[in-house]
Structure 1
């Protein structure tokens, strides 16, 4: 539909998400759709406030202000940016997942207002990244940083899985659009056997796999390097677990791109351990690429 959807809740994380989404939409000539789910049902039934019209009016007034502030932030990036808004009475996760059916990308803050005491900050980001129909950008930064990074390379995790293939395609497009170098990272010690038997009992001559793994990485990149000759590509082959390697790479990156699942995931998991670790801990924006779904 040629638009980027960004969810807002008035938090600092949401404000960073709006600015990142607005810059991305403006650079690509896309529409920016700003949405806020009012979560009235949670207050009505969870908080024992059913029928309290004054409370619902206050919720709506807050939603109007949140949307207005977000539009102002987006327009500060570019007056020419086409901005639309929506604030239905709906749960944010349900709303964003439904809108992802027709979006190019959904953008959310890495932290936000959970609505419930004790809920992990960023739980909305995890849930949207677990179910969306399009790529989901979770906007994160280092704890001591003032702004989200806008320099450095785009980093993509490569493991040979079908979902990783989609991540490579998206990563090349992102690097080209941002005028950034692409670091293709393949960490090859993360095997399913480790989870069952323990690495101490799994005796493997890792050096014997290095040549094969390097060949795998080169094969995965070959066609895309021809399609995007403008993108400088650096290959990194590491004997490390993917989540460790990618979290370290995020320290100097402007964006990390990963598939929602890799070859070491378990059937039935909605988000793999590597992508989950990045969504919750990376020091730069993370773009989670979802498997193709019927939209």
Structure 2
């Protein structure tokens, strides 16, 4: 496939690394993505010593990557700020999920959570079902769709990744007759169940048409599922190669269709999905006046 079709256009895949197995798994996963998309691979370490440690030199050599050491204390906030700067103009920003700041069931590190929703390029948090297992290399690319501009961005990103990796695409629209109220409570929607189900099927069909127009030869399945977005996507992630989603911008006001898990889906996926999670960049609203 020509580089122009892949869309990387020479923009690098940037990986934040440290001396942990999680970071090595993330770098190895990123190398496959970079190769599939025709993009250079850059490994970035934030540390007090500006000389590259032996493990970083060896890892870069094994993956055919360029390695940089950026001076800094190595604290999560500093690491996140450094990676955000490197993400500007990157094709993809990649981090592991079990580094500094990980605790309990929420296994994504502090830096990963800081980056989620802030990266100017797609962010991948490379996860596996266990801390000592490599991420999956088979299964579909799963994406949640909702018909919004951000949802379409996630769908386009997922279609491109599936195409480049030779993987099938599963697009899922999740709907519910229970929605969030203005005060944070929940209430039932006034529409009839059959009307909501038909609307969901229409959303899935539109996602299928969009993918077919963008990547005509891609194997794609589109489903409409009643439930909650987080639970549905976590279930599908059990057999997925990766899950793609669009984080909700904090600048956007809640909508009734967001459901009772408003604002928690992307964070829940980053924290608990048993496969890599890729988040589309948040759209920045245009300023008026």
TM-score normalised per structure 1: 0.79
2:7 aligns to what? none
Mapped to 1, the partners of 2:253 and 2:98 lie a distance apart of 26
Q: How does 1:103-252 map to 2 (within 5 A)?
A: 103-114=90-101, 121-143=108-130, 146-189=133-176, 191-193=179-181, 196-199=184-187, 205-252=192-239
Runs of 4+ in 1 over 6 A off after TM superposition: none
2:264 to 243, 251, 273: 273
Work out whether residues 163 and 262 of structure 1, in 8 Å CA contact, stay in contact via their aligned partners in 2: no
Residue 280 of structure 1: CA displacement? 0.4
Distance 1:293 1:232 in 2: 31
Within the candidate set 3, 13, 19, 2:28 is matched to 19
Structure 1, unpaired ranges of 5+: 39-58
Alignment of 1:88 onto 2:77: no
Q: Call closer, same or farther: CA 1:227–1:160 in 2, change over 3 Å.
A: closer
- CA-to-aligned-CA distance 1:189-227 (integer Å, 9 cap, x gap): 16333973435x667642321111211221233132122
**Deviations for 1:94-153, whole angstroms, at most 9, x for unmatched residues?**
10111111111100001202399xx97511111112211000000001027622100000
Counterpart position of 1:32: 41
- State the partner residue of 2:278: 287
Unaligned runs of 5+ in 2: 1-9, 255-261
Instruction: Decide which structure has greater helix share.
Output: 1
Q: Name the CA shift for 1:168/1:108 in 2 (closer, same or farther; >3 Å).
A: same
Aligned equivalents of 1:203, 1:161: Cα separation in 2? 21
Q: Does 1:7 pair with 2:16?
A: yes
Q: Matched residue of 1:283: which SS?
A: coil
Q: Contact 2:12 / 2:90 at 8 angstroms: preserved in 1? A: yes
C-alpha distance 16-144 of structure 1, shift in aligned 2 (>3 A): closer
For 1:161 and 1:215, locate their aligned partners in 2 and report how far apart those are by CA, in whole Å.
14
Aligned to 2:55: 69
Aligned counterparts of 1:243 and 1:258: Cα–Cα separation in 2: 10
- Aligned-residue offset at 1:240: 0.7
Task: Give, in whole Å, the separation in 2 of the partners of 1:140 and 1:70.
Answer: 20
| Partner secondary structure for residue 156 of structure 1 | strand
**For 1:207 and 1:197, how far apart are their aligned partners in 2?**
24
Contact 2:98 / 2:109 at 8 angstroms: preserved in 1?
yes
- Which structure has the larger Rg over C-alpha atoms? 1
Structure 2 distance, partners of 1:125, 1:94, is: 11
Q: Secondary structure at the match of 1:142?
A: coil
- TM-score normalised to structure 2 length: 0.81
* RMSD across aligned positions (CA): 2.8
